[in-house]
Structure 1
Amino acid sequence: MLTPQRAEALPVVGWIAGSLGVAGGTALAATAAYAAGAGFAGTIIGGFVVKTVVAIGLSALAAQLAPTPSVPAPGARMVNFAQPVAYAEWVYGRTRKGGPLGFTGFANDKRYYVPILAAHPIEGIVQHWLDERIVTLTNETDTTKSNVAESPISGYGRINVFTGDPGQLADPGLFADFAEITAAHDFRGLSGAVLWAARPPQSSFAQIYPSGGKWAYAPVLDGKKDIYDPRDGQTRFTSNAALVFADWVVSVLGRDVDWAEVADEADACDVVALDGEGIPRKRWEINGTLSDEQEFEAQRAQMAAACDAFVYERADGKVGFTVGRWIDPELTLGPEDFLALELIEGQWGADAPDEVAAVYTEPENGWRETPSGTWVERQVAKPVRDEPQLFMVTNHNQASRLNKRLARTKLSQYQLRGTLRMKGYEILGGRSGGRAHRFARVVHPEMGIDIYIEVGELVRESVGVFSLTANSVKPEDFAFDAATEEPQRPTYDGVVSDASIPVPSGLAVPSAASGAATVNWDGQNAAYVQDLQYRLTAVSSAWVQVSVAEGQSSLQLSVLSSAAEYEIQIRNRTNGLGVSDWSSSVLFTP
């Protein structure tokens, strides 16, 4: 099973016999085809997906998207907690989170604490958040001095990030202030930050520590950075759903994938279209956190549902998957392929939703769980509303496309349940270990049907016997016109633009290279501080906003994508009174 061999063209009978466990004579049992068939049968006993389930799609995953204790909401992760045993967490793509404390102690009038953000190396920190404040850091290298720029925190806190790279050293501040800390305390392979919070004057305590204690550190970060891309053979940070899912299968579960298949799915994820606001968006991304305390099925459901994936176990024992899109069926099922067949016309009954509004992670809402705009499938007096949890989705367009798919899936015209024999193996890609058939055509003259179906769940009941559940589907279920079909994205209260506040002038990027850039602007009146926001121009990148310290007229940006075009804007802010409009964009390529 660990080293399967490809069956030859001649011994098709041998492969079938092996998969069914029929010896058929000593010569047949000795063939490579028989061994391959037997290996295939072995791999799907207690199959990859769950128990004897060997293929699963969105209709079956939908039931696992309801609120469950094993899937904490993003808002629940914005804390730093201490406990005897902390579970490993994997961060994929871009998200905001806190983490468990790897160390805490008090020395020299400072509370030190070390939140662990991920159980692996990360690309880096995009935005620093202390409680609900976005802060920027200075270039101060003395670990006894504060490096937080914003008032009133400046002077009372420090953040030293570690990203888990090889050669990571113990933090010099911890090493100097705690005798028990040695060079061995380097948090090797882990990512996080060493923070200290100093005692302030009693008169300003509430202003500096509004929560009554040390700040919760929950930054926006770009996660796992060693994700393999078979298209160019490189490892890098990415939020491409196919590459992320493949990394999870290989790195976390210890299974194998077909990298040529992954490359095709990665290309499908990178297809770009405009969202309802005219912003270019890649089709499928995965951004979020998985924890070792979650059940395997909860992890799989969140990741697969985020990209409308169909997951299956191939004949060669590898894990295969297809991300959401319409693929013309190549497989036809007829009456002779079923041992039993039940066809139900109508929807899921009283639980069939008339409206779907996914709860996703919205960057503009502090990276917290947020209901999307509503997809209305049926106009009724008292609509049934479904609110699936899609926490690894971070843009409204992707959530809206999944809303439509979930609504059409649960309100499909037909539900099919049947028992198959050898066609079950063919759905899984046949003896060659090829791609599974997510879609099929079902033609049954006696029932008077000729329909397309999408596999919901394929279960191996016994040797050579499979049960199939599927829904009828149409190609237009996968089409999405954002201009007419994407509902309005939720809006959030914020600081209102004040036309009396001038827009800063002189924004320029005099140098940009090797994933970094220097940003300059004209000096401003001391009454104002500046906010900057930047994003990639060609992909579905959200604005990254940073605030600079009073009196600054330049900023260093790092952890940028080399050779990718960015746009950046600037505005003025007054403390509590309002903000100016954003300036015109300046383009640069680091």
Structure 2
Amino acid sequence: MPQAIAGLLLPLITSSPIYFLGPAAVSAVSLGLGYAATAAALYGIQAAFKPQVDTPKPEDGKFNLRQPVPYLPFVLGRVKKGGDYVFLEERDGTAYHIIVSAGHHIKGYVEHWLHDEKLTLTANGYVDKPDHFKGDGTPLPGNTDYHVRILTRIGNDAEIPYAEVVSKFPEIWTGNHRGDGLASVLMMPDTVAQEDYLAVYPNQEPVHTAVIDGHDRIFDPRTGNLGYTTNLALFRLWHLTHPVGGKLSLSDIYLPEWIEAANVCDEIVINRSGAQERRYHGGFWFRANNDPVDVGRLMDQAAELVVYERPDGKVGVHPGKFVAPDVRLDARDIVALSFDANRRRGSNVLAVRGRYTSPENGYVTTDAAPYGDPYADDSERTRTLENQAVQSHNHMARLEKITFIRANAPRVTVVAHYHAAKNVRFRRFVRVHYPPRLEEAIVELTGRPKLSLRNLTVQFEGIVVPPTLYDFNAAVDEGEPGSTVVPLPPSGVPVPQNFDVVIQNEVVAGGATAAFARASWDFVSAALTYEFEWEPTTGGTKQAAMSKAGDSTVRSSYLADGSQYRFRLRAWSGGKASEWTEYLIRTATADPVAPAPVTGQTATGGAGQIVFSWIAPNSANYFASRIYLNIANDFATATLMATEYGAPNSPDGHTLTGVAAGAYFGWVQAINASGVPAAAAATGSITVT
């Protein structure tokens, strides 16, 4: 009720023209003043105790909100933001995240991001890039190559439920959970093996954000159509007529002035690089519980708008450009005038520093090049201008210059006769001629004019500005923007370099020797540990050993003597592994010392057979003899025909049967238990009949 009384009476007292005041009128106005003062005081007390929520900054959209009942978000223009969780459950190794991005219909999703990585999606919504989101692990249902899938809804009036969630959780999520009018994302990351977790999800649990083209039902009075726009004047008009804003109807709006404001926002300007852009375009998002006054001021500042009440009671707007004043006040009209040259250090500035939302830097708050010289003296007097709805360096540079001019402009307070100044309250600029201080000066109003009923005068405050207030030469006035931050793709844990494996042996219990493998590599950092893996080339169980941090070697457990193995190595850091090296093939050798060669070797041919005989060497590590045969006198190309096991320093022999008739050459070669051979002993030529 206090708001209603104040809203009805205060415009009457401060704004409406008074042509005649009789005794009854004076009495009524006096009573109204009393009610208005009481109502205004009560309204001020309520506002003081009402919790205020600041309009979100770009950084506020980097994380998804988890709370029972969040306030609806509204997205105007193009922004990058997260959303609000409405569903999070896991089943069969896949998590299901439903996140609401906007509480209304949107034009669409432009880009999807997980943490700071931009994604490439397949036609079915599977994350194809970056590559680490593909690979081994438990696949998503119906797919074997991808670990994350993302589906979207743009907030249709009758939306389609996510069938993937309905089928998995029919007991809590049904076909009636459509999300009508809510733009949302369904993210489905799957489970991976523990050792692969940080390789697939290097930032751990995926956090989804998206670049969104927001509200696409913004009314444009120039066409009478609803659609998507980045025009700040149209944002402001939408906000005034929406329940989260001014709650007005279009019949309360003076549309011709809003059409002009929208046209001004669409004007082409040239930026520092010579490219064209729109004068006042941008984008931002806010919540339903944000103070509508603060949200409105954000757009007014970004588009240089002044919203006011016209004489006919409708809401008009002064666009962000200079309009030659049609109200002129001179000494005959002015009752009193105070002039402040504004040359005090405490009130003016040397430079203005702007902060805006940079799409080139991932939609984060970015510093613009300052306008002015903050180091002109040792005071470094600067003013900061921050507006998250501004998304262009040139746009912020223009606002910086305007702010700089206003901060250093002379201040005036004018009291003028009512009949000459009655239209001042409906103007943004007035002309004042009051020599010698003001000669045909342009005064921009900085507050609401006040009507004195006692003296029938109008008092207003303003600043003296040049008619070139909005002129801007980007080549001169726009400083050089900061460098665009290009995030480097994560290089991951480095793959080991100069990996090598050497088979070594040592004496074990009982005096026997056993073989093991020792891996080595180039030292990189004490923060890395290394996983050394091996398995028989014929197949079998894989085994592994971990190095200590800072080491550049690691050994295996004991290997089967004489068996061939393949070995590989990878590095670990912070729970994340590098890629494996290529395999190296080595043969386990417990005894590297060859026995002595056999002696007395002979080979006698017969009908389809050859009889070999020899004397085993007197070597303690002798284990067996191998018999080779070739049709040429070349051991290198000979074929192993048989292995005969026996004791050292004793006669031995072997008969080969089923040999085709012809001329042959034979060899007998002693080996130890590890298969290490002695020199082959030739038997000479052999004839088989």
Q: TM-score range by the shorter chain?
A: 0.5 to 0.7
Query: What is the deviation of 1:19?
Result: 4.8
Distance in 1 (alpha carbons) for counterparts of 2:316 and 2:195? 61
Deviation digits for residues 106-162 of structure 1, max 9, x if unmatched? 222222122211111110111111111110211127xxxx45543222411111111
**What does residue 73 of structure 1 align with?**
57
Distance in 2 (alpha carbons) for counterparts of 1:364 and 1:295? 29
The structure carrying a bigger strand percent of its residues is 2
Letter of the structure 2 residue corresponding to residue 196 of structure 1: M
Letter of the structure 1 residue corresponding to residue 357 of structure 2: T
**What does residue 275 of structure 1 align with?**
271
Contact 2:334 2:414 in 1 (8 A): no
Q: Select 2:289's aligned residue among 290, 293, 297.
A: 293
Distance in 1 (alpha carbons) for counterparts of 2:93 and 2:266? 51
Distance in 2 (alpha carbons) for counterparts of 1:153 and 1:21? 75
Q: Select 1:174's aligned residue among 165, 177, 192.
A: 165
**What does residue 438 of structure 1 align with?**
428
TM-score, structure 1 as length reference: 0.68
Q: Select 1:131's aligned residue among 115, 124, 143.
A: 115
Q: Describe the shift of the 1:477–1:356 C-alpha distance in structure 2 as closer, same or farther (beyond 3 A).
A: same
Query: What is the deviation of 1:381?
Result: 2.3
Q: Describe the shift of the 1:484–1:315 C-alpha distance in structure 2 as closer, same or farther (beyond 3 A).
A: same
Distance in 1 (alpha carbons) for counterparts of 2:90 and 2:185? 16
- State the percentage of identical aligned residues: 23
TM-score, structure 2 as length reference: 0.59
Contact 2:159 2:178 in 1 (8 A): yes
RCO higher in 1 or 2 (8 Å CA, sep ≥ 6)? Answer: 1
Contact 1:455 1:470 in 2 (8 A): yes
Task: Flag structure 1 segments of 5+ consecutive residues without an equivalent.
Answer: 1-14, 29-40, 53-67, 429-435, 498-575, 577-590
**What does residue 151 of structure 1 align with?**
131
Distance in 1 (alpha carbons) for counterparts of 2:413 and 2:375? 26
Distance in 1 (alpha carbons) for counterparts of 2:219 and 2:93? 45
Contact 1:351 1:384 in 2 (8 A): no
Please tell me whether residue 393 in structure 1 is matched to residue 390 in structure 2: yes
Distance in 2 (alpha carbons) for counterparts of 1:496 and 1:212? 19
**What does residue 469 of structure 1 align with?**
461
Q: Describe the shift of the 1:226–1:460 C-alpha distance in structure 2 as closer, same or farther (beyond 3 A).
A: farther
Q: Select 2:68's aligned residue among 51, 59, 84.
A: 84
Task: Flag structure 2 segments of 5+ consecutive residues without an equivalent.
Answer: 1-12, 26-32, 45-51, 135-145, 490-577, 579-689
Distance in 2 (alpha carbons) for counterparts of 1:417 and 1:277? 43
Query: What is the deviation of 1:18?
Result: 7.6
Q: Describe the shift of the 1:333–1:348 C-alpha distance in structure 2 as closer, same or farther (beyond 3 A).
A: farther
Contact 1:338 1:421 in 2 (8 A): no
Distance in 1 (alpha carbons) for counterparts of 2:163 and 2:413? 64
Question: What do you get for the CA RMSD once the two structures are aligned?
Answer: 3.5
**What does residue 557 of structure 1 align with?**
none
Please tell me whether residue 354 in structure 1 is matched to residue 334 in structure 2: no
Q: Select 1:254's aligned residue among 247, 252, 277.
A: 247
**What does residue 98 of structure 1 align with?**
82
Please tell me whether residue 284 in structure 1 is matched to residue 264 in structure 2: no
Distance in 1 (alpha carbons) for counterparts of 2:484 and 2:14? 60
Contact 1:348 1:411 in 2 (8 A): no
Distance in 1 (alpha carbons) for counterparts of 2:130 and 2:446? 52
**What does residue 190 of structure 2 align with?**
198
Q: Bigger radius of gyration, 1 or 2?
A: 2
**What does residue 408 of structure 2 align with?**
411
Q: Describe the shift of the 1:468–1:296 C-alpha distance in structure 2 as closer, same or farther (beyond 3 A).
A: farther
Q: Describe the shift of the 1:275–1:202 C-alpha distance in structure 2 as closer, same or farther (beyond 3 A).
A: same
Q: Describe the shift of the 1:418–1:366 C-alpha distance in structure 2 as closer, same or farther (beyond 3 A).
A: farther
Letter of the structure 2 residue corresponding to residue 210 of structure 1: P
**What does residue 370 of structure 2 align with?**
374
Distance in 1 (alpha carbons) for counterparts of 2:460 and 2:38? 17
Query: What is the deviation of 1:455?
Result: 1.2
Larger mean Cα displacement after TM superposition, 93-102 or 380-389: 380-389
Query: What is the deviation of 1:207?
Result: 2.8
Q: Describe the shift of the 1:484–1:127 C-alpha distance in structure 2 as closer, same or farther (beyond 3 A).
A: same
Distance in 1 (alpha carbons) for counterparts of 2:418 and 2:200? 68
Contact 1:226 1:237 in 2 (8 A): yes
SS of the residue aligned with 1:219? strand
**What does residue 234 of structure 2 align with?**
243
Contact 1:147 1:159 in 2 (8 A): yes
**What does residue 426 of structure 1 align with?**
423
Query: What is the deviation of 1:334?
Result: 3.6
Q: Describe the shift of the 1:483–1:184 C-alpha distance in structure 2 as closer, same or farther (beyond 3 A).
A: same
Query: What is the deviation of 1:379?
Result: 5.8
Letter of the structure 2 residue corresponding to residue 401 of structure 1: R
Letter of the structure 2 residue corresponding to residue 195 of structure 1: M
Please tell me whether residue 451 in structure 1 is matched to residue 441 in structure 2: yes
Distance in 1 (alpha carbons) for counterparts of 2:459 and 2:188? 58
Spell out the pairing of 1:9-48 with structure 2 (5 A cutoff).
19-20=17-18
Contact 1:341 1:417 in 2 (8 A): yes
